[in-house]
């Protein structure tokens, strides 16, 4: 386990980040909208990625409301994973979930998709904390999920952060997943995006990997953070 807490955090100018490039795939990253998705504005790019917690309590009505908004966004590809609040996705039979996902929306659950040569992988699991959705025990229980991530992954989407990377709570605790840190530093995706720890929103580059905590809400569930835009070359 390396100490990567004290590396630089990129300056985030709220709602004004422009990293887009004409010759690359332009991706907008958001996370933890908790039902407030329709307040987001100026979402642009070819791909939008949501790293989980689309709802407040994870009921079907809330999930449907999110999906109705998400499917209409002006993007070529729309990808999302569930988070610890999104109970519906863990409790409903897989066939019901499959039926619910609208055309034009890609739902990842320990699964991947290749888009125009860029390989995405998504997983909703996070270390156990009380009794939320997609909780797994730290250690071997959660490592099983990270072992599924293909060695060639360009964009890794998880709901929770890796240990010591954009994972510090307001009480000063690092609550990220140790096993996920090991996995991501080995796999070296171009981008690892997550949310979950709202107050740790931001962007860091470590060992050539762009780490993005894309939580748009703060720890009080106020929408204060900008979607994060980034370009990726295939
Ligand atoms: Zn959240």
Distance 217 CA to ligand 1 centre (A): 8
Distance 8 CA to ligand 1 centre (A): 24
CA quadruple 126, 25, 76, 65: dihedral sign: positive
Is 44 domain-assigned?
yes
Is 3 domain-assigned?
no
pLDDT digits (tens, 9 = 90+) for 138-160: 999 999 999 999 999 999 999 99
pLDDT recorded at residue 15? 42
Distance 33 CA to ligand 1 centre (A): 7
Distance (Å, whole) CA 85 – CA 20: 31
Distance 73 CA to ligand 1 centre (A): 21
Token digits of residue 15: 């709602």
Distance 199 CA to ligand 1 centre (A): 10
Place of tokens 């962007």: 203
Read off the CATH number of the domain in which 202 is found.
3.60.21.10
> What pTM does this model have?
0.93
H-type alpha helices, 24-169: 60-70, 87-91, 94-100, 140-146
Q: Are 85 and 116 in contact (CB under 8 A)?
A: no
Distance (Å, whole) CA 30 – CA 39: 12
Distance 26 CA to ligand 1 centre (A): 24
> What is the residue range of 38's domain?
25-232
| Residue spans of the chain under pLDDT 70 | 1-21
* Structural domain count, the chain: 1
Is 82 domain-assigned?
yes
pLDDT recorded at residue 13? 44
pLDDT digits (tens, 9 = 90+) for 77-122: 999 999 999 999 999 999 999 999 999 999 999 999 999 999 999 9
How many C-beta atoms surround the C-beta of residue 157 within 10 A? 29
- Going from the C-alpha of 119 to that of each of 25, 55, 151, 155, the distances in angstroms are 12, 26, 11, 6
Distance 98 CA to ligand 1 centre (A): 23
Is 15 domain-assigned?
no
DSSP 8-state symbol, 199: G
Is 10 domain-assigned?
no
């Amino acid at each position: 386990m390396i100490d990567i807490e004290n590396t630089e955090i990129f300056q985030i100018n709220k709602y004004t980040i422009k990293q887009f490039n004409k010759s690359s795939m332009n991706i907008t990253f958001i996370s933890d909208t908790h039902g407030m998705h329709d307040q987001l504005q100026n979402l642009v790019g070819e791909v939008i990625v949501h790293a989980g917690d689309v709802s407040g309590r994870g009921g079907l009505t809330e999930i449907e409301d999110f999906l109705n908004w998400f499917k209409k966004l002006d993007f070529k590809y729309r990808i999302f994973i569930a988070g610890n609040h999104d109970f519906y996705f863990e409790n409903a039979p897989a066939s019901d979930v499959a039926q619910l996902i609208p055309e034009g929306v890609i739902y990842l659950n320990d699964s991947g998709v290749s888009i125009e040569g860029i390989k995405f992988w998504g997983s909703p699991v996070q270390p156990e904390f009380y009794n939320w959705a997609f909780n797994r025990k730290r250690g071997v229980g959660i490592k099983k999920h990270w072992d599924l991530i293909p060695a060639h992954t360009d964009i890794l989407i998880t709901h929770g952060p890796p240990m010591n990377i954009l994972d510090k709570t307001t009480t000063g605790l690092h609550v990220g997943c140790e096993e996920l840190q090991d996995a991501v530093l080995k796999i070296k995706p171009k981008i690892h995006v997550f949310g979950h720890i709202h107050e740790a929103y931001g962007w860091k580059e470590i060992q050539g990997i762009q780490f993005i905590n894309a939580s748009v809400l703060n720890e009080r569930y106020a929408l204060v953070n900008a979607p994060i835009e980034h370009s990726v070359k295939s």
